[in-house]
């Protein structure tokens, strides 16, 4: 099947399709090489990366929920040095756009990570701000507009790569967060990250997860994600990467119609490792059946308040 209708350019990154994979659900991409044409993906948002290696949380880290899952992996990863020296050179052979998701406990650490990753082979940086700011008493970066904006400013000051801010849904006003990071210079936003949730073992009388709470993802969060993409698309002009519960081409179409310029698939990769390819095929069929020649033609088409970002429209 030809992907001509699906070709797009996001943040100066040429993409064969607007279908990406969400960080934490696809490893470093190579784990799926037997199931997926990695070069066909718009990009692979690789496993969250920190300055130093992390072993992650103790105890149970994943549990299934109705139409979804809870996880509290705890950012287990080998650290940025290992990623740059070992992983990045190895995964470059697959011809995929590598987008590195980074986390830190201070704005300065985000800046340091962005600087270290400003190298060939990295297409963009995604900032995961669903972590506590140790300098501000543990406030979560992603729930405070000023803190999130400070992270964006620090990252932008240390890299020439496009900077994507991953918005947390665990806020009162997602629009305020999006506007703050756009004003700080974010090149795009991705949303949504996981919803905070928990499950209790009624026979052992204690939480199931070792960390007590975890991030809820999967089909159950899709209506929340679509609603938030819809709202943010009415508030900012930078492109949106929509994610949250996408498990079919029809799900992806909803995000495009709401105002997303690209989508990322997460939890569905666990249940069907070929799902991204099926979504690409389904999107192409949808466009053909409805008489559209490109994916851009349906971006924001259902959203009357959509601000009108297109690939040929510059920020501002």
Q: Which two tokens stand for residue 135?
A: 């300098």
Q: Which two tokens stand for residue 82?
A: 């290992």
Which three-class secondary structure string do you get for 128-191? ECCCEEHHHCCEEHHHCHHHHHHHHHHHHCCCCCCEEEECCCCCCCHHHHHHHHHHCCCCEEEE
Contact in structure between 119 and 66 (CB atoms under 8 Å): no
Q: Which two tokens stand for residue 312?
A: 């040929």
Would you list the DSSP string of 190-202?
A: EE--PEEEE-EET
Is the dihedral angle over the CA atoms 296, 254, 271, 142 positive or is it negative?
positive
Q: Which two tokens stand for residue 289?
A: 């059946």
> CA-CA distance, 212 to 198, in Å (whole number)?
6
Contact in structure between 53 and 79 (CB atoms under 8 Å): yes
Considering the candidates 72, 131, 220, 280, report the single residue annotated as catalytic. 131
Q: Where are the beta strands (DSSP E) in 222-269?
A: 240-243, 262-265
Burial label for 13, CB within 10 Å (0-12, 13-18, 19+), is: middle
Contact in structure between 62 and 3 (CB atoms under 8 Å): no
Q: Phi then psi for 193, rounded to 5 degrees?
A: -75, -175
Q: Cα separations (Å) of 260 from 19, 129, 137?
A: 11, 20, 34
131 given a catalytic annotation: yes
3-state secondary structure at position 101: strand
| Residues with active-site annotation | 131
């Amino acid at each position: 099947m030809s992907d001509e209708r699906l070709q797009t350019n996001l943040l100066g990154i040429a993409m064969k399709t607007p279908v990406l994979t969400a960080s934490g659900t696809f490893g470093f991409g190579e784990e799926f090489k037997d199931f997926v044409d990695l070069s066909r993906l718009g990009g692979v948002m690789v496993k969250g990366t920190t300055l130093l290696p992390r072993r992650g949380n103790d105890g149970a880290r994943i549990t299934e929920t109705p139409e979804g899952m809870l996880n509290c992996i705890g950012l287990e990863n080998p650290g940025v040095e290992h990623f740059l020296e070992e992983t990045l050179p190895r995964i470059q052979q697959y011809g995929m756009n590598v987008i590195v998701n980074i986390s830190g406990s201070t704005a300065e650490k985000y800046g340091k990570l962005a600087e270290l990753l400003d190298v060939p082979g990295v297409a963009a940086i995604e900032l995961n701000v669903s972590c506590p700011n140790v300098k501000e008493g543990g406030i979560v970066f992603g729930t405070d507009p000023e803190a999130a904006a400070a992270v964006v400013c620090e990252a932008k000051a240390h890299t020439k790569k496009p900077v994507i801010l991953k918005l947390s849904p665990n806020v009162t006003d997602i629009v305020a967060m999006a506007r703050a990071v756009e004003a700080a210079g974010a090149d795009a936003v991705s949303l949504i990250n996981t919803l905070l949730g928990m499950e209790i073992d009624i026979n052992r009388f204690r939480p199931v997860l070792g960390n007590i709470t975890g991030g809820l993802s999967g089909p159950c969060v899709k209506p929340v994600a679509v609603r938030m993409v819809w709202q943010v698309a009415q508030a900012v002009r930078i492109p949106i990467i929509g994610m949250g519960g996408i498990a079919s081409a029809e799900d992806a179409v909803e995000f495009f119609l709401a105002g997303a310029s690209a989508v990322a698939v997460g939890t569905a990769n666990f249940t069907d490792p070929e799902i991204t390819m099926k979504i690409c095929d389904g999107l192409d069929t949808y466009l053909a059946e409805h008489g559209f020649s490109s994916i851009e033609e349906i971006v924001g088409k259902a959203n009357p308040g959509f601000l009108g970002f297109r690939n040929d429209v510059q920020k501002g």
